[in-house]
Structure 1
């Protein structure tokens, strides 16, 4: 699996680890890790998960199933503030036309903020 070997090496290098360092942290021999990175052999499932964790990437990315190396966050989302809750509950009561109008207003506010930031950057 060529993509796996390429991504294993890329992830290790981005993590700033030499093969010998990574192999010690993974509990495998340097030759075994070299074999994975040179496409001579494939890691077992447990080793693959250890590598993904060590390199802070997702198993899906290592296997070529995802374009994004970062694993999905498993942490809980931030709780909604009272203002967020109020906005969300009102959103659910709006008609589709009202929602479209609200989205246009939000897009305008974000655009204006972006332009203001650009102007501030030019002044400096």
Structure 2
């Protein structure tokens, strides 16, 4: 599936992750992730879902079944809290490198939260 390999790489790069960083967060070898991105192998369903979660995209988009990388949310946006406002103000003052580092931390926290909530009987 050429589209899958292309979109896996594109999503990882847009998430600001190097292959080695993503493979560590996903709990797979760098060679395995490289194989997915180079169309040498296809990820299993669990790995596909983990990559979609880590990269912040939908599985449908990764598989080429959607042109939008994320599900459309038609609900009205929530008003920003005071904490959101403070974070946004500080974000605007950060350098691009600092922003990328902050995004990497956020991706890691969300990934860890997702894996901590999984059924322990389904983990390898």
Q: Which residue of 2 aligns with 1:47?
A: 47
Q: Which residue matches 2:4?
A: 4
Count of matched residue positions in the alignment of Structure 1 and Structure 2: 78
After superposition, the Cα gap between the structure-2 partners of 1:46 and 1:77, relative to the gap in structure 1 and judged at 3 Å, is same
Query: Any idea what the Cα deviations from partners look like across 1:78-124, whole Å, max 9, x if unmatched?
Result: 8xxxxxxxxxxxxxxxxxxxxxxxxxxxxxxxxxxxxxxxxxxxxxx
Shift of 1:76: 9.8
Match of residue 64 from structure 1: 64
TM-score (ref. length: structure 1) = 0.58
Deviation at 1:72, TM superposition (A): 4.4
* 1:71 Cα deviation from its structure 2 partner: 2.9
Are the aligned partners of 1:56 and 1:71 in contact in 2 as well (CA < 8 Å)? Answer: no
Structure 2: which 5+ runs fail to align?
79-124
Structure 1 unaligned segments of length 5 or more: list them: 79-124
Looking at structure 2, the residues matched to 20 and 71 of structure 1 have their Cα atoms a distance apart, in angstroms, of: 27
Residue 122 of structure 1 corresponds to which residue in structure 2? none
Compared CA separation, residues 76 and 11, structure 1 to 2 (3 A): same
Q: Secondary structure at the match of 2:47?
A: helix
- Give the alignment of 1:87-102 within 5 angstroms: none
Max Rg structure: 1
Alignment-derived partner of residue 31 in structure 2: 31
Q: 2-side partners of 1:10 and 1:17: how far apart?
A: 10
TM-fit CA distance, 1:70? 1.1
Higher RCO structure, 1 or 2 (CA under 8 Å, sep 6+): 2
